[in-house]
Structure 1
Amino acid sequence: MSIQSQQLDTFTYDDAVVRKFIIATLIWGIIAMAAGVFIAFELASWRLNMGLPWITFGRLRPLHTNAAIFAFAGNAIFAGIYHSTQRLLKTRLYSDFLSNFHFWGWQLIIVAAAITLPLGYTVSKEYAELEWPIKIAITVIWVAFAVNFFGTLSRRREQHIYVAIWFYIATIVTVAVLHIVNSINIPVTFLKSYPVYAGVQDALVQWWYGHNAVAFFLTTPFLGLMYYYVPKAANRPVYSYRLSIVHFWSLVFIYIWAGPHHLLYTALPEWAQTLGVVFSIMLWAPSWGGMINGLLTLRGAWDRVRTEPILKFFVGALTFYGMATFEGPLLSIKSVNAIGHYTDWIIGHVHGGTLGWNGFLTAGMLYYLVPRMWNTKLYSEKLANTHFWTGFLGILAYVVSMDVSGITQGLMWRAVDSSGKLVYPDFIETVIRIVPLYWIRAVGGTLYLVGFIMMAYNVYKTIELAPKMLVSEKQTAPALVTDIPKLFDERPHRILEGLPAVFSVLTLIAILVGSVIEIIPTLMAHTFVPMNAKVRPYTALELAGRDIYVRESCYVCHSQQIRPMTSELLRYGKPSTPEESMYDHPFQWGSKRIGPDLARIGGKYPDLWHYRHMADPREVTPKSIMPAYPWLFQDKTDFAVLSKKLSVMRTLGVPYSDKDVERAESGAGRKGNHGPHRLHSTPRAHGRRGCKMNAQALCHFPMTWLTCIAMLIFLSVFVTMFIRVFMKANSELYKRMERLPLAEEEDRHER
């Protein structure tokens, strides 16, 4: 509670930075989606790679994902957070300088990514491909954002923080932790580095980051935006404030545990995989709690959905959110994951969420914001409605084609006849069947892009109608004076809402619990797993070759992880083990098989086959959709930097001797000179490397039954609370919206 002075403070909102982020969202959104459409057509027709290194699928796909996540979604998040936070807290942003520093710094980071990724400067870890100088820049800008946000929070004129602010806090705190932990690299040169983690450890840390980047960059901030803009657009209070409490804390705590479901059937310890499965299934409950809370907020406003495009987009976004958060737990079940993993089903799932949830929510938010930020009316509601239906058809074509493609190929990979042989032994057979679906996917993506361009045009014409001079209206609100004794007379969570610092610390603890329990035991595995002298690191020449593999982002099309399944044993050989990648900085297990697994490809074919394969894949594999790599026959490998690379690797624990480091350049040169002679002969078949290590201690942890019991207890408690929420949702105690700044904000467009 607070005692507010009778004298009113006068202030203005900083809407200039909001307008900048809106424009950036539109520009980068078009670029990100255009890149996505182009690489979709590249998969349908390999000729579009044009033999140019900068536009190959391997280099453009990371550019597309980074542009979509950090450029498009990121700018949308910042626009919405900066706009809603000022109004929810009744104060101007903490620092105009930090706001502008944040905006321009973020755009420079995006430009740096757009330059370096096509040039092959990459770490080749999904959603974390950018090299170390850019990662440092991201850290600096994120700190500026955090200082600006929490500084604004400290100057608030509202005692209790609204639910949207909770999700913003969770986003800022968790993304900082994720980015810092996953970005610890040792530089070799200005644009080359190696991550400190290797193999299994790197895989777990990466997918702890990768999964939760989706959770805390594409989910929690958008949920915060949903809790602000859906009630504002519908002019209705949030359906259940109690449900929002359950939704927030259960989501924040559970989400962080679910990352290992990306690594099922891999060399990751079984106990970690089990945790990932259990918490992924548990995640369904709070996710749907949020969806239901959003949709039921529209009670009494459904008649307007037919005519108002903003509400259409919000309903569509919440519906796709519900579909994605149902499909995610479904795909984490091992029997389903065995079919879907490495296939286009995962691609369809991801894009159903990003295009439907993030894309549609952003569109609805922009259609709401633009007229208000430029003090005018939307140019064309008809065009906005057309945008919705065009985008919806695009998503439908995209998701259905990818789901069908993924299930088809997954079943073909696993098909074994009665004699115990693969029904489709040649991998290319499974690719040819799904190429027509790649064309449908590309058309669906094009439709979605066309819809987005419609919105950009609509916004452009709306801005043209705006007054020449935009002046921020003066706002008034009573100053906040906190009465601590009365504050503690409130209910427990109401007390937390009045103590943002305590709220933030508890949020941090909630996300650290799962992180520490999952990651620390795996990082310490080397202390109780005996090493074997037969395990050898890469030679200098092999390391140079592996860095080319990393540079070309081959992991986006190929895995290096054989699963313990009969079909994979027949197709690729024995399952992968932890020790095989123990010196891999970074790990390159991959998450998609556009081409076959490469874990044991080393001695399968002679050197001449590989030479011809890189020059023209169709010469050795007819109908292959892989692009050619002619620049590999022209570029020279820089052997001078090999000594520095081996030195850094030794710092990371790879057992190179002083002699290995000193002679790296000369040794690689001598071995490289033998290569052309071997192209005329077939070398003796050999494995990737001989390595044996007892990893039983790593792969065993008695958590299976405990986690299953925990899941059942959680679901029982959640269902009970969910029922109580619905029973009491209409009680006066929980109709608090009239006491929140969301309902008090005066909006000249609603007078």
Structure 2
Amino acid sequence: METQKFSYDNGIVRAFLYATIAFGIAGFTLGLTAALMLFYPELPEFLFGTDDTTIQSLRSGNIEGLINTNGAMGFGRIRMMHTNTVVFAFVCNSFFLATYYSLQRLLKTRMWSDALSWFHFWTWQIMIVLSWVTFALGYNTSKEYAEHEWPLDLLILVSWLAFGINMWMTIVKRRVRHLYVAIWFYIATWLGIALLHIVNNLEVPLNFMKSYSAYAGVKDALVQWWYGHNAVAFVLTTPILGMMYYFMPKAADRPVFSYKLSIIHFWSLIFVYLWAGPHHLQYTALPAWVQAVGTGFSIMLIAPSWGGMLNGLLTLRGAWDKVREDPILKFFVVAITCYGMATFEGPLLATKTLNKIGHFTDWVIGHVHLGALGWNGFMAFGIIYYLTPILWKTKIWSVKLANWHFWLGTLGIIFYAVPMYISGFTQGMMWKQFNPDGTLMYKNWLDTVTAIVPYYKLRFLGGALYLTGGILMVINIYKTVKQGTFAKDTAAEAPALPKIGKDRKAGEPVHLWIERMPAILTIGAFITLSIGGAVEIIPTLTIKENVPTISAVKPYSPLELEGRDLYIREGCNSCHSQVIRPFRDEVVRFDGKNGQYSKAGEFIYDRPFLWGSKRTGPDLHRQGKRNPESWHFKHMYNPRSTSPGSIMPRFPWLITNRLDRSEMVNKMKLMKSTFDVPYTKAEIDSANAWADNQAANIVKNIYSQAPDIAKSVEEDKARKGNDFIPMEQREIVALIAYLERLGTDIKTTDVQTASR
């Protein structure tokens, strides 16, 4: 048969390689910054030359330098930038790098459209940069791994569709009969992320940079963690498995250990994963049957996950001498080992016994980073070291430097994960300890915080080692590129693919037939992916009894709505949860007055839900009326003035910023018209007067409780004249209104009645 000549596009591969490296270093640096702020919360003051520590400095104007950052250095915003850079910029770009290289060679054809390849590249990188800008400015939805506001959600969707069309059309024009296992995972990844992204990000825009979730409370929590857990599955797992199935055999020069195991691994993994999301919501107000289903399928995940791990490691049978010499294979081996550890630990954390100890603690942080740093990071590093010499037709500049990177990265993972495990165990046990007389042993939350600060410092050391290894990689790759010669196109030839019949041939194995029928493979994968989410989500969204209402729970006032949006803007849910689980220690600690855990009906007006995933600070679901207004004022200005030893960062810009109320009435109208929140026409028409009265009462209480604040504000007024912003019009007052509202609707009798 006559062969056809064509070329592989290396230019797009090079672009994604550079993007992976650049954003990897950026993501690690942002993570290290966030880690530093957890034991050195004064970092913004240090960077901007501000060191005042008391409320009296309002008179002197010493905080202007810090105020001018307007919160861009706030921990919540930095954390969002870090997680999204690692997930969407580093890991996704490494996936695109691997896909654009391997897909062409596996299918023996150039990508269908060079223009679409570059459209995908630039729209994705623009999305990442815009994410940094919007998060730094405080525009976010608060949803874990999905904080982008709706214009960026649309940009992600457009870019992802471009990638999918290009991938699919390349498969159509292939010169091979069967699709290799790596491509199965690429297809499932594309389908899974598209499904998750669309369903979770259904939202109603208020304006160009503000929207509200289509779901509320418990329903929003279920959809978000169906997305959140499966973002781990289809961003941080299935694409990396596809990369493993291609690059591991290539680097080791060995065939995949078991074709049959690959089939079982693929179909069982994509089926089971979509059921497991509710294990993030154990003991919450989520319906119990959904929690149970999530736990069961999470435990089942061990089997397919370890099937993939064993298939990867056993591919190296007979090649262990090469592993000792080759840093690329060392990266791959540790990556797959970390995958196996993380996918064993995840199901354990999903069990109720361990979940009640580990959830909301640093154990989860250690678990997540074992996967991100070890599995995702080391696979990406190995592929970068593998591809660079091939693309530039040279040898790696320094094998010794690559080995140094490997050992520094490995030590970094150990120094990161182990302290977080110890910290998580410490937190989980301290929170639950009682004295013989029935009182909490560690009633002061700060006792449980100061006990783990040394582990935060060790975690920072681990992150620094990991980043240092990444910097060595940059040097090594730069030197390799400089000494080599890049070929934008690689000439190739292969025979044309004969016409493929759709019918299954006699004696042909079913899966072999599916492999040569991409449409059937894709449809089968989509159905397999959809079952779990449909079974869990549809009944919860449609059966009213799953989320019973409580008559005492009322909508937020207009000022409280504004305060809630400020809470979201600053990423406060990164450190504070807003759901009390039915544990003795939690109801005593967080709701000492009523002693009640959170019920589903309490969250019906919460768009988005704010249950959080980490308790660096205490739960706030019943925070209202627990502290005076002046305490909140001083606490936001400098937490250490009210809570000595606190690691919470300062929020002085809230003290001085004017509250933007231009959309306040429109927010209420949107809640009424779209979500049927029971605001009356009179309440909407009088929204500004309602907000003015509530703000005036809060300020009156602040001044009566803290005359020093009143004096400072008067002096500030005298100094600024016409530029002075009345305290009633400042952001801090709206935030206090929201915090003081939390949990105040509920009385013991109300909750007991609702729970019958």
Partner of 2:697: 674
SS of the equivalent of 2:677 reads coil
Partner of 1:310: 328
Residue 37 (structure 1) aligned to one of 21, 24, 32: 32
Residue 422 (structure 2) aligned to one of 392, 404, 408: 404
Partner of 2:409: 391
Superposed CA deviations along residues 195-228 of structure 1, whole A, max 9, x for unmatched, are: 1111000000000000000100110000000000
> 1:266 is matched by which residue type in structure 2?
T
> 1:465 is matched by which residue type in structure 2?
Q
Residues 282 and 664 (structure 1 numbering): CA distance in 2 closer, same or farther, change over 3 Å?
A: same
1:646 aligns with 2:632: no
Q: Kindly state the Cα deviation for residue 616 of structure 1 after the two structures are TM-superposed.
A: 1.3
Gap regions ≥5 residues in structure 2 = 46-65, 706-735
1:161 aligns with 2:184: no
> 2:561 is matched by which residue type in structure 1?
L
> 1:375 is matched by which residue type in structure 2?
K
SS of the equivalent of 2:495 reads strand
Kept in 2: contact 1:10–1:474 (CA 8 A): yes
Residues 543 and 418 (structure 1 numbering): CA distance in 2 closer, same or farther, change over 3 Å?
A: same
1:601 aligns with 2:601: no
1:13 aligns with 2:8: yes
1:624 aligns with 2:646: yes
Q: Where do 1:291-302 residues align within 5 Å? A: 291-302=309-320
Q: Whole-Å Cα distance in 2 between the matches of residues 365 and 687 of structure 1?
A: 49
Q: Kindly state the Cα deviation for residue 152 of structure 1 after the two structures are TM-superposed.
A: 0.5
Residues 530 and 572 (structure 1 numbering): CA distance in 2 closer, same or farther, change over 3 Å?
A: closer
Q: Where do 1:224-373 residues align within 5 Å? A: 224-373=242-391
Partner of 1:520: 538
Q: Whole-Å Cα distance in 1 between the matches of residues 279 and 742 of structure 2?
A: 29
Stretches of 4+ aligned residues off by more than 3 angstroms: 468-471, 483-489, 527-533, 680-687, 691-700
Q: Whole-Å Cα distance in 2 between the matches of residues 459 and 698 of structure 1?
A: 62
Q: Kindly state the Cα deviation for residue 15 of structure 1 after the two structures are TM-superposed.
A: 1.3
Q: Kindly state the Cα deviation for residue 335 of structure 1 after the two structures are TM-superposed.
A: 1.1
SS of the equivalent of 1:287 reads helix
Residues 110 and 529 (structure 1 numbering): CA distance in 2 closer, same or farther, change over 3 Å?
A: closer
Residue 577 (structure 1) aligned to one of 594, 599, 618: 599
> 1:347 is matched by which residue type in structure 2?
I
Partner of 1:115: 133
Superposed CA deviations along residues 89-142 of structure 1, whole A, max 9, x for unmatched, are: 111101101000000010000000010101100101110001010000001001
SS of the equivalent of 2:283 reads coil
> 1:119 is matched by which residue type in structure 2?
L
1:690 aligns with 2:712: no
Kept in 2: contact 1:116–1:122 (CA 8 A): yes
Q: Kindly state the Cα deviation for residue 667 of structure 1 after the two structures are TM-superposed.
A: 2.1
Residues 167 and 360 (structure 1 numbering): CA distance in 2 closer, same or farther, change over 3 Å?
A: same
Partner of 2:527: 509
Partner of 2:49: none
Superposed CA deviations along residues 662-691 of structure 1, whole A, max 9, x for unmatched, are: 322332123223321111446999872325
Kept in 1: contact 2:109–2:170 (CA 8 A): yes
Residues 23 and 300 (structure 1 numbering): CA distance in 2 closer, same or farther, change over 3 Å?
A: same
1:417 aligns with 2:430: no
Q: Kindly state the Cα deviation for residue 648 of structure 1 after the two structures are TM-superposed.
A: 1.5
Partner of 1:655: 678
Residues 389 and 568 (structure 1 numbering): CA distance in 2 closer, same or farther, change over 3 Å?
A: same
Residues 503 and 697 (structure 1 numbering): CA distance in 2 closer, same or farther, change over 3 Å?
A: farther
Q: Kindly state the Cα deviation for residue 414 of structure 1 after the two structures are TM-superposed.
A: 0.6
Residue 446 (structure 2) aligned to one of 428, 450, 468: 428
SS of the equivalent of 2:614 reads coil
Partner of 1:49: 44
Q: Whole-Å Cα distance in 2 between the matches of residues 505 and 401 of structure 1?
A: 44
Superposed CA deviations along residues 637-672 of structure 1, whole A, max 9, x for unmatched, are: 112211111112121231222222232233212322
Q: Kindly state the Cα deviation for residue 482 of structure 1 after the two structures are TM-superposed.
A: 1.2
Kept in 2: contact 1:525–1:698 (CA 8 A): no
Q: Where do 1:162-177 residues align within 5 Å? A: 162-177=180-195
Partner of 2:219: 201
Q: Whole-Å Cα distance in 1 between the matches of residues 346 and 304 of structure 2?
A: 13
Partner of 2:90: 72
Kept in 2: contact 1:529–1:695 (CA 8 A): no
Residue 203 (structure 2) aligned to one of 185, 188, 197: 185
Kept in 2: contact 1:161–1:498 (CA 8 A): yes
> 1:611 is matched by which residue type in structure 2?
F
Q: Kindly state the Cα deviation for residue 49 of structure 1 after the two structures are TM-superposed.
A: 3.1
Residues 338 and 49 (structure 1 numbering): CA distance in 2 closer, same or farther, change over 3 Å?
A: farther
> 1:21 is matched by which residue type in structure 2?
F
Partner of 2:56: none
Q: Kindly state the Cα deviation for residue 483 of structure 1 after the two structures are TM-superposed.
A: 3.4
Q: Kindly state the Cα deviation for residue 189 of structure 1 after the two structures are TM-superposed.
A: 1.4
Q: Percent identity?
A: 51
> 1:475 is matched by which residue type in structure 2?
E
> 2:743 is matched by which residue type in structure 1?
R
Q: Whole-Å Cα distance in 1 between the matches of residues 484 and 755 of structure 2?
A: 63
Q: Whole-Å Cα distance in 1 between the matches of residues 552 and 445 of structure 2?
A: 32
Residues 49 and 482 (structure 1 numbering): CA distance in 2 closer, same or farther, change over 3 Å?
A: same
Q: Kindly state the Cα deviation for residue 527 of structure 1 after the two structures are TM-superposed.
A: 6.2
Residues 160 and 267 (structure 1 numbering): CA distance in 2 closer, same or farther, change over 3 Å?
A: same
> 1:404 is matched by which residue type in structure 2?
I
SS of the equivalent of 2:690 reads helix
Superposed CA deviations along residues 501-538 of structure 1, whole A, max 9, x for unmatched, are: 01111111111111111001111133676644432100
Q: Kindly state the Cα deviation for residue 698 of structure 1 after the two structures are TM-superposed.
A: 11
SS of the equivalent of 1:647 reads helix
Kept in 2: contact 1:639–1:669 (CA 8 A): no
Superposed CA deviations along residues 15-65 of structure 1, whole A, max 9, x for unmatched, are: 110110000000000000000001101101111132441112111001100
Q: Kindly state the Cα deviation for residue 386 of structure 1 after the two structures are TM-superposed.
A: 0.7
1:491 aligns with 2:509: yes
SS of the equivalent of 1:118 reads helix
Q: Whole-Å Cα distance in 2 between the matches of residues 531 and 218 of structure 1?
A: 37
Kept in 1: contact 2:577–2:621 (CA 8 A): yes
Q: Kindly state the Cα deviation for residue 421 of structure 1 after the two structures are TM-superposed.
A: 1.4
Residues 530 and 362 (structure 1 numbering): CA distance in 2 closer, same or farther, change over 3 Å?
A: closer
SS of the equivalent of 1:328 reads helix
> 1:606 is matched by which residue type in structure 2?
P
Residues 487 and 144 (structure 1 numbering): CA distance in 2 closer, same or farther, change over 3 Å?
A: farther
Q: Whole-Å Cα distance in 2 between the matches of residues 340 and 486 of structure 1?
A: 50
SS of the equivalent of 2:491 reads coil
Residues 459 and 698 (structure 1 numbering): CA distance in 2 closer, same or farther, change over 3 Å?
A: farther
Q: Whole-Å Cα distance in 2 between the matches of residues 194 and 488 of structure 1?
A: 55
TM-score, with length taken from structure 2: 0.89
Residues 696 and 509 (structure 1 numbering): CA distance in 2 closer, same or farther, change over 3 Å?
A: farther
Superposed CA deviations along residues 560-595 of structure 1, whole A, max 9, x for unmatched, are: 011101111211122111111110000000010111
SS of the equivalent of 2:436 reads coil
Kept in 2: contact 1:311–1:364 (CA 8 A): yes
TM-score, with length taken from structure 1: 0.90
Q: Kindly state the Cα deviation for residue 487 of structure 1 after the two structures are TM-superposed.
A: 4.0
Kept in 1: contact 2:218–2:547 (CA 8 A): no
Q: Kindly state the Cα deviation for residue 695 of structure 1 after the two structures are TM-superposed.
A: 9.8
Q: Whole-Å Cα distance in 1 between the matches of residues 234 and 753 of structure 2?
A: 33
Q: Whole-Å Cα distance in 1 between the matches of residues 145 and 645 of structure 2?
A: 31
Q: Whole-Å Cα distance in 2 between the matches of residues 670 and 602 of structure 1?
A: 18
Residues 126 and 686 (structure 1 numbering): CA distance in 2 closer, same or farther, change over 3 Å?
A: closer
Partner of 2:52: none
Superposed CA deviations along residues 464-492 of structure 1, whole A, max 9, x for unmatched, are: 01226644223333333213446464101
Kept in 1: contact 2:388–2:477 (CA 8 A): yes
State the number of aligned residues: 695
